[in-house]
Amino acid sequence: MKNIKDYDLQDLQEELVSIGEKKYRAEQIFKWLYIEKVKTFDEMTNLSIELREKLKDNYSMCNYNILKKQESSDGTKKYLFDVLDGNAIETVLMQYHHGKTVCVSSQIGCKMGCKFCASTGVQFIRNLSAGEIVEQIVAVEQDIGDRISNIVFMGIGEPLDNYDNVIKAINILNNQKGLNIGTRHISVSTSGLVPKIYDLANENIQCTLSISLHATTDEQRSSMMPINNRYNINELMKACKDYIKITNKRISFEYALAKDNNDNLEDAKRLVKLLKGMLCHVNLIPINKIENGQYSKSTNENILKFRDYLNDNGIVATIRRELGSDIDAACGQLRRKNLKK
Ligand code: SAH
């Protein structure tokens, strides 16, 4: 069965016309799905009963069941959703003063194999469809009875490895007739798929690009992130500079600080050299140690020193507040959970 949430508004209009319905029905359905957030076609009361039956027969609503919900002492919530094919995905809600942010998964599993990340070592199963990505936000909004203001593609998976579905999901999330989440409030994070960075630059959407850099030499980065063997730091930095030129937008670089690995003054110096003059911001993440992981968190002293060195040398850097670490919901802690039906 087709998933009704896989369609952006334009596709839905075309789809409805193709089944002999009027185009304006698409907008009505969009409102039911993303403003009223109903869970059945029967609730779409301004559609004829005949149309509701047709929709029921041909499309699923992709309603997720919450298999598990954990709440952190800081208000962070981690959801394990049943994606209806025997698999499950994790989604995290973070509450900041400026609004609510959802960290979404883009794939079931991940192929990137970053050594410090808990999603590594779990089998890659498949991409999530656009609707399956969007449903994470719908399901969280339904659960909390409030609206989400920001979305980060920083859950499980490599969003640029599921490019078309991620772009379509952004279009659906952004539509003013629906969830209406501004693209400026959406961040896409990548481990560095260079050709896709160019594709994204040419999309003409305003979302923020985050680059998981984490290291300043190829040797160091390749040891942490196998993707660096495919696209090295030089190629990645060139793509980032081109991205800024094309979009005129600031890039956010993620740098996870691991003790005695990438957190000393020499690293900071090299990082300044790499980023000097670029329209960017550095997000320092105290690395979260994963089960059997070889990396552990830098000392607070080193983290502050690292930040201060960057700031003193003209690179804007902030330390990411850690949310949800007590429920394994912090950066890099999400794992695909297996579900047997
Ligand atoms: N695949 C994408 C998005 C998922 S990860 C990417 O690589 O960017 C989201 C962010 O969390 C990335 O910056 C990632 O490098 C970081 N991360 C992963 N594991 C981590 C860990 N154990 N501690 C801190 N940050 C981690």
Query: What CATH superfamily is the domain 65-338?
Result: Aldolase class I (3.20.20.70)
Catalytic residue among 15, 90, 135, 141: 90
Alpha carbon of 215 to ligand 1 centroid (Å) = 13
Residue whose C-alpha is closest to residue 225's, from 110, 105, 109:
110
CA distance 32 to 26: 10
Q: How far apart are CA 288 and CA 291, in angstroms?
A: 10
Which residue puts its alpha carbon closest to atom 5 of ligand 1? 154
117 C-alpha to ligand 1 centroid (Å):
6
Ligand 1 pocket, mutate which of 117, 120, 166, 328 (most atoms under 8 A from CB): 117
How many residues in the chain?
341
Q: Are the C-beta atoms of 55 and 5 separated by less than 8 Å? A: no
Residue-by-residue DSSP string for 71-96: E-TTS-EEEEEE-SSS-EEEEEEEEE
Query: Model's pTM, two decimal places?
Result: 0.96
**Ligand 1 atom closest to 332 (CA):** 19
246 Ramachandran zone, left/alpha/beta (phi>0; psi -120 to 50): alpha
Would you state the structure tokens that stand for residue 285, as one six-digit string?
Answer: 């993440």
Closest to 152 measured CA to CA, from 197, 92, 82? 92
Q: What is the pLDDT of residues 222-272, one digit of tens each?
A: 999 999 999 999 999 999 999 999 999 999 999 999 999 999 999 999 999
Spell out, as residue ranges, where the chain has pLDDT lower than 70.
336-341
The whole-number pLDDT of residue 338 equals 61
pLDDT at 42: 98
Active site residue 110: no
Report residues whose beta carbon is within 6 angstroms of any ligand 1 atom.
112, 114, 116-117, 154, 158, 189-191, 212, 254, 256, 285, 287-288, 290, 331-332
- Report whether 218 contacts 228 (CB < 8 A): yes
pLDDT for position 337: 64
Q: Could you tell which of 189, 207, 236, 288 is best to mutate to test the pocket of ligand 1, judged by most ligand atoms within 8 Å of the CB?
A: 189
Atom of ligand 1 nearest to the CA of 210: 8
Q: Report how far residue 29's alpha carbon sits from residue 61's, in angstroms, rounded to the nearest whole number.
A: 11
Between the CA of 212 and the centroid of ligand 1 the distance, in Å, is: 7
Query: How far apart are the C-alpha atoms of 224 and 222, rounded to whole Å?
Result: 5
Compute the half-sphere exposure of residue 111: CA atoms within 13 Å on the CB side of its CA.
Answer: 11
Beta strands 150-153 and 99-103: pairing type? parallel
| CA 266 – CA 129 distance, rounded (Å) | 42
**322 tagged catalytic:** no
* CB proximity list for 15: less than 8 A, separation 6 or greater: 7, 26
Mutate to test the pocket of ligand 1, among 254, 288, 336 (most ligand atoms within 8 A of CB): 254
Residue nearest to atom 12 of ligand 1 (CA): 212
Separation of CA 141 and ligand 1 centre (Å): 24
Query: At the topology level of CATH, where does 2-60 sit?
Result: DNA polymerase; domain 1 (1.10.150)
Domains in the chain: boundaries: 2-60, 65-338
For ligand 1, atom 13, name the residue with the nearest CA. Answer: 212
pLDDT of amino acid 263: 97
- Distance (angstroms) between ligand 1 centre and the Cα of 70 equals 21
Q: Give one DSSP letter per residue of 157-213, joined into a string.
A: S-GGGGHHHHHHHHHHHH-TTTT---GGGEEEEES--HHHHHHHHTT---PEEEEE-
pLDDT of residue 341: 46
Q: DSSP assignment of 263-287, as one string?
A: -SHHHHHHHHHHHTTSSEEEEEEEP
Q: What is the pLDDT of residue 122?
A: 77
Amino acid, res. 79:
Y
Which residue's CA is the nearest one to ligand 1's atom 24?
287
Query: How is residue 33 annotated by DSSP?
Result: I
Phi-psi sector, 101: left (phi>0), alpha (psi -120 to 50), beta: beta
Q: Which of 110, 111, 114 to mutate to test the pocket of ligand 1 (most atoms within 8 A of CB)?
A: 114
CA of 302 to the centre of ligand 1 (A): 20
Residue 340: predicted pLDDT: 47
pLDDT at 162 (0 to 100): 98
